[in-house]
Structure 1
């Protein structure tokens, strides 16, 4: 084994020992293990109970095809060895650094390697083979718990809901109703399935709306919701969206439109993944804005999380 792979193996052994210990103490079975720690190995490695998900970020590795294939194969061998898992339990995805919202919806594979995992006493379906993301964003683990703690008897709105993990937490917290909106029928069906897995599928209380959020906001009633989750893409030029979304440029209009749908003193959790994002606080029509990014960073994302999170009260 070359020096660089020995270095990779040593790094992986070190973080695995440390993070698994913390995860065990907190009762967490799905967590991020490695996040491009070494520039020679631009990988993200996540554990989903006994399965391993590896996402490779494209980089200028300057390797020809044969050398690249050999690098990728040896990297997987090291990961399987350190984590003591069969190669069949390791799932590899290759992705580019910049993705638009549409690319998340495009299938990469049709092997449909799905499993049910647990988080905070709740069940979620994840797919480690077919899409760019597993279906459960691990970095929002703490934020989801916050929503659950606040949801009792509240009317909840989950915008850009993806696979509905926030919706499940809200419903589990005793929300009076949960409305989940997304542009993807695939993800809305997934959100319903997650609700069903937890015995929370109640059509009289919870609904799923297939719509362009930017357009549908104008159709929602004002002064309706007590608790809203807004986690939009950084950029989106999906053909199915009427407008092009740039979260830095458009966040004031978007957040203020969301606030219009909320009751006085309602709570909005707003997050995004733009590294250099700056919230234009004076332009937001809110009574209180608190940056809660630091307190929503899980142990496995310390020092590596690029997203922002705000708790905004109307």
Structure 2
């Protein structure tokens, strides 16, 4: 059953990926309840997340089920077993989970997205370093960045920053609470020959505190992709994106030049934007137009908005 499903979806998605020149994409996401897996192709490697779910198998039966699933993935997706990285994935309530190492294999390698390159790590962290669902959003940012002063908040490994710099941004400021990910963002800039410390800056800070320090009318384009919740000890305050999004966006708008744009995304399933309380001249829900082919069909749980000051 699993093999038949995987053959069918892979045949379809691989055709689209080749046509679009995409080498990293999602091929399966919990399609069958008996196989609660999320499978992402990163060129010649697989990142497989097993969603935490109750099962009635003994330990030996479970290991046999897992081994068989890996054999099928290797066969159908034409990827060697040794290049398959399997993780248990729980619903993240805290961005801090993303920062914590879960392995120390240090198997970094480079993948391509269009003309750009990114460092990924499928073994050591809960996330890989490149969120595949924002592929289209990143292209949008690149097209909007020429000559602009760009701010990337909760920047993670800086993929939006790379796209902004590649799009000819006058400057890119990347802000994150993790020194590990800021260093990774610098690595991604270097991979693409875009590392210019005089133009592009990396700020280690609690974003909520950083926003309070910004000067008025500083940035032309801001990208903000916060966690749903975060209670890191390094943060001054507990973050709840549903509760806090109005204050966050209004503070960002103060730092945005008149006519400037904010791209705001989050992954909270039940998120509702408070349009009336946000002091933007226009707000557009661009979720549908930013969902790539491999995340269509209603399984992608995230929201994306374009705000203009």
Partner in structure 2 of residue 153 of structure 1: 147
**Partner of residue 175 from structure 1, selected from 169, 180, 187:** 169
Give the corresponding residue for 2:179: 185
* Equivalent of 1:28 in 22, 37, 48: 22
- Counterpart secondary structure, 1:289: strand
Which sections of structure 1, spanning at least 5 residues, go unmatched? 1-6
Deviation of the 1:112 alpha carbon: 1.1
* Pair 1:57-2:57 in alignment: no
1:59-138 map, 5 Å: 59-138=53-132
Paired residue secondary structure (1:201): coil
Equivalent residue number for residue 194 of structure 1: 188
1:260 equivalent to 2:229? Answer no
Q: How far, CA to CA, are the matches of 1:210 and 1:236 in structure 2?
A: 16
Q: 1:287 aligns with which of 281, 288, 301?
A: 281
Q: Tell me the equivalent position of 1:248.
A: 242
* Deviation for aligned residue 1:70: 1.8
Structure 2 SS opposite 1:39: coil
4+ residue stretches of structure 1 with deviation over 3 A? Answer: none
Match of 2:252, SS state, is helix
Q: CA deviation at 1:66?
A: 2.2
Cα offset, 1:46, TM superposition: 0.6
TM superposition score normalised by structure 1: 0.97
Residue 303 of structure 2 corresponds to residue 313 of structure 1: no
RMSD between aligned residues: 0.8
In structure 2, distance between residues paired with 1:236 and 1:256: 20
Partner Cα distance (1:215, 1:62) in 2: 47
Q: TM-score, normalization: structure 2?
A: 0.98
